[in-house]
Structure formats: C-alpha cells, structure tokens
Amino acid sequence: MVSPDSVTVVQRVEKWYENNMSYGSIVLLMTIESSFIPFPSEIIIPPAAYIASKPTSKLNIYLVILFGTLGALVGAYINYFLALWLGRPVLYKLADSKIGKILLLSSEKIIKSEQYFNQKGKVSTFIGRLIPGIRQLISIPAGLARMNFISFTLYTLLGATVWNVILALIGYLAQGQEARINTYSHELSLAILAVLAIVIVFYIIRFLLRKFKK
C-alpha cells in the first residue's frame, strides 16, 4: 500500500484529474480557453487524453477530442458574436479597460489579430487556431469583418480539431511513461513553479512599466 507521504505531486494531480475530468468539464474549460478568458488548452486536453488512454478510464480519447473541439467552437462563437454586436470602438475600449486588463486583453493584441486576419483572409480562422497568442483572439476580427458564419464555423472546427488532435496525441504518448514522470516529479514541480513565477513577474513588470509611462 502506498503511504500518503510517498505520493508525488504529479500523482496527486493525476488523481484529481481522474476524479473530476468529464466530457462536460472538457466542454466548459475549452469554451473558456477559446474565448477571451486566458486559460491554456495544454492543461485540459493532454491530461484528459492521458486519462482516457488507461484501460479503466471512463473517458474515450476520441470523445475527448470531439467535446474539446465542441467547447472550442462555443468559445469562438462568444468572441465572434461579441465583436459582431459590440463593434470596433466599444471592443477596443473594453480591451483597454480595467476588466480587459484583468482578462489580459489589450488593443495591441486585437490589432495584431486583425492584422493577421487581414493578411491571411478567411483561412486565418483555421491557421490562427494553431498559433499561440493568436488562436484565442482570431474570432474577434472575424466578427468585426462580419465573416460568413458558415465559413467561420467550418474553418474554426477544422483548426480546433487539428489542435486538439495534436494535444491529445501528446497526452496519449505520455501513457507508459509514468515511472519516468514520477522519477522526475520533483524537478517537474519546481519547473512548473518556476514558470508560474516568471509569468507573474512578467505581468507585474509590464503593469508597472505601463503605469510609469502614463
């Protein structure tokens, strides 16, 4: 029997995912990830696919991809219709407001996504979903440009499916590597904490620099 003290951080995280991950939670989390709320899909699909690859799992890896893609589409719709209804002036004002800053939005990010959309055209809603920093916001310029809804849906579905298949493959390939993962669990935990610390420091410095410029 494994004592509580010998259970690694990675094993605890894995157990939590096994107890709480469902198709409903995958849809919800991917909806959040695909909208303007900053939430990485890398911590949703790979762990779910990893759990689904176990013989005793209640999840199916193909359904993980399906429901993950459905959630991504719903989140993309949120951005699309918000941009369509609010319009450019209100949207840019919202992005630079306190609420926008909390959501890590800015007019610069929207400008970047608009420029990418204008350069690539409709296909940007497919390619853009594979590019970090663009994928969550690419639906906004599509809404501002009043892109055909059916075309938007098809390109978004295709891009989200490709992205989720890649992430699911990463999770699937991690199966059978438990011994190696547990061996380096301490190092992994330190690496995760280091990355979080760097991200926090980065946003604090950026906030202070913006405040200083004003």
The domains of the chain are located at 10-176
Note the pLDDT of residue 74: 94
Q: How far is CA 81 from the centre of its chain?
A: 19
pLDDT band at 196 (very low <50, low <70, confident <90, very high): low
Per-residue pLDDT, 34 = 84
* pLDDT for 78 beyond 60: yes
28-71 residue pLDDT tens: 989 988 887 767 777 888 888 888 888 878 889 999 999 999 99
When the pLDDT of each residue in the chain is averaged and rounded to a whole number, the result is: 77
Q: Is 49 in contact with 171 (CB distance < 8 Å)?
A: yes
Whole-angstrom distance, CA of residue 91 vs CA of residue 23: 32
Q: Is the pLDDT of residue 6 over 50?
A: no
pLDDT at 8: 53
Rounded to whole angstroms, what are the CA distances from 9 to 27, 40, 114, 203?
26, 20, 41, 27
CB of 154 within 8 A of CB of 122?
no
- Alpha-carbon distances, residue 74 vs 4, 64, 163 (angstroms): 40, 15, 15
**Contact criterion met (CB below 8 Å) for 159 and 34:** no
Confidence (pLDDT) at 5: 46
Is pLDDT at 9 greater than 60 in this prediction?
A: no
| pTM as predicted | 0.71
Structure tokens at 97: 């407001």
The mean-pLDDT minimum among 2-11, 38-47, 162-171, 198-207 falls in 2-11
Mean pLDDT, range 119-136, rounded to an integer: 76
Largest alpha-carbon pair distance within the chain?
A: 62
